Amino acid sequence: MKIDRVTLYHLRMPLRAPFETSFGRAYERECILLEVQADGLTGYGECVADRSPGYAYETSGTAWHILRDFLVPAVLGQDIAQPVDFQRLAAAVRGHPMAKAGLEMALWDLQGKREGRSLRELLGGQRARVEVGVSVGIQESPEALVGVVADYLRQGYGRIKIKIKPGRDVIDAQAVRRAFPDVRLQVDANSAYTLESAAVLRPLDDLNLLLIEQPLAEDDLWDHSKLQAQFQTPICLDESIRSPRHARQALEMGACRIINIKQGRVGGLSQALAIHDLCRERDVPVWCGGMLETGVGRAANLALASLPGFTLPGDISATDRYYEQDITRERFTLNPDSTIDVPDGPGLGVSIDRVALERFTLAKLQLP
């Protein structure tokens, strides 16, 4: 496909409820929507970098710059046969995986539309619906958290993840475990601890958690390997896995026993697929993480999570969990068995609500 034009939309969307993690509280979410025109077709991609560099160093601002000045110029006028070929064109840009992933996603959407095949089919996904859970932010108190979790369980979510930070870790997890002895529960620290300060997390090992996500620094594998040796509960890495190479090294080192795969964090769906394959060969469970995506990124996550190695529920909740109004006409809903249907239309299988898109657009740039 010959890339004729790329349009970037910098979006800001209000969240239905604030979302608090160890690195701060968000009331809104930013992202960049990419609209790519090729061979008379239009593909969409979502760059998941947010306003501030709390989760990762990339922001909507850095991604805009890298896309506008480097990645989009690298693809304009090029004939790209397969989405994965984009990785070669993007190799001149060091880092910036979220910017790359947004553009690659649009190429997958285009390929699917050209061939009349869904992204699920293109990736080799096998399931028509995927198991999902919900990620619950830090609340005012452990009691308030138990109330919010109860509400999600009533809605039908079969797996709960709670965010933790120093001072709000063991007490929160114990409160939820006491209230719901059988719920599938996991915690996510978003790099809030050091090897030394993580000693306070020891009681988590008695709570029958599915996993402990990213306790230590995002650029660290070695200390995670030391920490994993001290815990029965599997450590799952999120921020620390930025490429298939990191995934291999983390597993070889024993830095984790489970991997959270986010196409944005690893530089694209092709790279997410490679990590999935590598983990599957080694019988290492993976699951699909979330970045509060719009319907565009959510559709991609659902397709990815339909691959056979995704054996744990993803952070892919229903649209209602995040947004009053989304930029896709399609809204994703939770089935009673805690699954969400994978879109089966061509490409991502979603269409853009232009009125909503306009409402949330802070800036728009058409290239060339």
Our answer to whether residue 262 is catalytic in this structure is: yes
Question: Which among 93, 115, 127, 136 has a CA at the least distance from the CA of 268?
Answer: 93
Judged by CB under 6 A, how many residues of this single chain contact ligand SMG? Answer: 13
Our answer to whether residue 163 is catalytic in this structure is: yes
Q: Which is nearer to ligand SMG, 276 or 321 (CB)?
A: 321
The interface partner of residue 290, options being Mg ion, ligand SMG, none and the CB cut-off 5 to 8 Å by kind, is ligand SMG
Please give the residue ranges that form the binding site for Mg ion (CB under 5 A).
188, 213, 238
Q: Which stretch in 34-42, 112-120, 242-250, 290-298 sits in contact with ligand SMG by CB under 6 A?
A: 290-298
Cα separation, 53 vs 58, whole angstroms: 6
The interface partner of residue 21, options being Mg ion, ligand SMG, none and the CB cut-off 5 to 8 Å by kind, is ligand SMG
Q: Which stretch in 201-209, 219-227, 284-292, 352-360 sits in contact with ligand SMG by CB under 6 A?
A: 284-292
291 scored as a contact of ligand SMG (CB under 6 A): yes
- Taking CB under 6 A as the criterion, which residues in 50-89 touch ligand SMG? 55
The interface partner of residue 131, options being Mg ion, ligand SMG, none and the CB cut-off 5 to 8 Å by kind, is none
Cα separation, 265 vs 272, whole angstroms: 9
Q: Which is nearer to ligand SMG, 251 or 318 (CB)?
A: 318
Marked catalytic residue, from 100, 113, 262, 364 = 262
Question: Which among 193, 196, 211, 62 has a CA at the least distance from the CA of 135?
Answer: 211
- Taking CB under 6 A as the criterion, which residues in 101-130 touch ligand SMG? none
135 scored as a contact of ligand SMG (CB under 6 A): yes
Question: Which among 171, 145, 170, 140 has a CA at the least distance from the CA of 160?
Answer: 145
Contacts 24+ apart (CB under 8 A), 228-234: 228/254, 228/255, 228/256, 228/257, 229/254, 230/202, 231/201, 231/202, 231/204, 231/205, 232/205, 233/204, 233/205, 233/209, 234/210, 234/258
Residues 30, 46, 169, 315: which binds ligand SMG (CB under 6 A)?
Answer: 315
Q: What residue has token string 């009331």? A: 27
- Taking CB under 6 A as the criterion, which residues in 209-248 touch ligand SMG? 238
The CA-based dihedral angle spanning residues 213, 216, 221, 225, taken in that order and rounded to the nearest 10 degrees = -80
From first CA to last CA, the distance across the chain in angstroms is 17
Is 195 within 8 Å of 221 (Cβ atoms)? no
Binding site for ligand SMG (CB under 6 A): 21, 26, 55, 135, 188, 190, 238, 289-292, 315, 317
Residues forming the active site: 163, 262
